[in-house]
């Protein structure tokens, strides 16, 4: 596992989808202000999943948008306070 500043990252890239996980101290007070993600999930259609989650009342910490690294992505907070990002290629 590669690390940077005490934070480790581990990823895998299957044929179509991939999952990147982050390992960090659980009691970081800047987690939400600094958007320290707990997981980044590459998906096929971020727009469709965002619309589905919005209808279901999911709490977004960052709305759907295009980012410079040619992805469409958004971030949610799960029921345990984890920040999960979902993104798809543009």
Got the DSSP string for 10-52? Answer: EEE--SS-EEEEEE--TT-TTTTTTT--SEEEE-S-HHHHHHH
Give the distance from CA 82 to its chain's centroid.
9
Tokens describing residue 36: 């320290």
Nearest-angstrom CA–CA distance, 72 and 85: 10
| pLDDT tens profile 16-30 | 666 666 665 555 667
| % pLDDT > 90, the chain | 43
- Report the distance separating Cα 43 and Cα 49, nearest Å: 9
- Whether residue 34 has pLDDT greater than 80: no
Structural domains of the chain in order of their starting residue, each with its CATH number = 2-89 (3.30.720.110)
């Amino acid at each position: 596992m590669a690390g940077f500043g005490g934070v480790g990252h581990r990823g895998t890239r299957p044929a179509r989808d991939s999952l990147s996980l982050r390992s960090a101290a659980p009691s970081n007070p800047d987690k939400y202000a600094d958007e320290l993600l707990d997981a980044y999930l590459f998906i096929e259609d971020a727009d469709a999943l965002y619309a589905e989650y919005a209808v279901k009342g999911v709490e977004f910490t960052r709305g759907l948008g295009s980012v410079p690294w040619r992805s469409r992505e958004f971030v949610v907070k799960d029921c345990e306070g984890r920040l999960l990002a979902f993104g798809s290629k543009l």
